[in-house]
A and B are shown apart, each in its own frame.
Chain A
Amino acid sequence: MIEARGLARTFTGKHGRVEAVRGVDLSVAPGEIVGFLGPNGAGKTTTLRMLTTLLAPTAGTATVAGRDLRADPGGVRRRIGYVAQGGGTDPSVPAGEELDLQARLYGVDGRAQRIAELCARLELEGLWDRPCGALSGGQRRRLDIALGLVHRPPLLFLDEPTTGLDPQSRGNLWEHIRSMRAGDGTTVFLTTHYLDEADALCDRLLIIDRGRIVAAGTPAELKRRVAGDVVTLQLADPSGAARAREALSRHRSVRKAVAAGGAVRLTVEDGERQLMSLVRTLDAAGVELASLNLARPSLDDVFLTVTGRSLRDAA
């Protein structure tokens, strides 16, 4: 659905040249929900604006929804939907009028029916005459998405879709994005700087930092590959900690073992599968276990490992 090679954008301004995006390669398959994760200023929005024909790349090529980005931007536009970070509605214009205009601009057949269908699906019924400025944050976001979907695009771009929404509206929006893919097979490419969003919503993630993609994979793959799981073993008898650490550090799946207080903290590859074996090792060493905890690494850990900075600090 998207194939980009060496996509780059350099801005030349008063303060010299800024390489916002420095050679991005990416592939997105039909039907995927792909998340573009990175701190503010990493180049997410610039990449998105290039892929949606809003910004000409200074280098590189891309095929978007089957059309060449440089040779046929009009073809790309007809096949994609784009929802900008701040939305794109006029506060004084009634919601229905925005939808109607959008459908007319795309030349949608059966306009009224399509709009009614979208309003039903995105819980926008009864808001036709309401000025966009009078809608709630969640409603406006759903309207933005309806505007992006009015022409049934096979590919939808969402720039920071849930920024500024309350937790309930966020969850609700995730549901809508998932159901879009389930119902129409819509491919979704979204940017986010929320780890939980990337984790909960995306099939695959691309991590971008300082204009380059630094890691790619499913959320689970990324976490497994980069960080490993953290297993904390609380011992019944604190004095056995040193012995336990000694025994466990020889286990083949353990990368790192630290004894602290009455507990041993392990960094383990594929921790879930290794739990049983770790307990047996402990048993063989004659150490009694009080409790056991397995923590999956967060995407923040991934980001930290890949870039050397925490996503929270970077943002």
Chain B
Amino acid sequence: MHVSLMITCLGDAFFPDVGVATVKLLRRLGVSVDFPQAQTCCGQPHFNSGYHDDARDLARHAITAFAKSPLVVTPSGSCAAMVKLEYPELFHGDPTWHDRAVDLAKRTHELSDFLVNVLKVEDVGARFDGKATYHMACHLRGLGLVDEPLRLIQKVRGLQLVPLERYDECCGFGGSFAVRYPQISGAMVTDKAAFIEKTAVDAVIATDAGCLMNIGGCLNRKGSKVRILHLAELLAQT
């Protein structure tokens, strides 16, 4: 099987290790990976802020960049949701681009979705010696991927999974929300970090760069020893 990697802009700039881990993991599972160089950002920031013309420009750019990819895998529920749920909506009434948007939406998979539902693997042969907890990224709810990451995590050797209180409550990232309402967003991430600290784990696992930079930023500010770990990094370790 062959896939194209959608790294996402946050992943590209801030968490390249997540991309490297994704590639290594996929190759280990017998999947060959390419990286279309034209890709930049899916346009979600513009879409969420109501700049839909800009979002359409970026969607066209992404649709073109991945036009030749048989399948697209991205280590981000948020960007996968943008492509799968919002791209077709954005081109409502534009037959040419709507069809292309629907086509890309069908070919695109968030990493845990791809592993569990396309490759049909749950045990990817990963190992993690220590305790970890899991924060559910909000966009996985929208994509209906409530169990997939947990099914993968539970098969990791040596990992002791500690349940996280309010594991499915938003961490307070929300893109521009975190900048527009730092007090509300700050209260949310402070609670999230406190729940994580209470679990006394070595690492908190999540599937999205947005959550990781927000939660990680708060944990770092508090001087916490808990490290942030993307699902791809966890699964790439053997």
A binds B: no
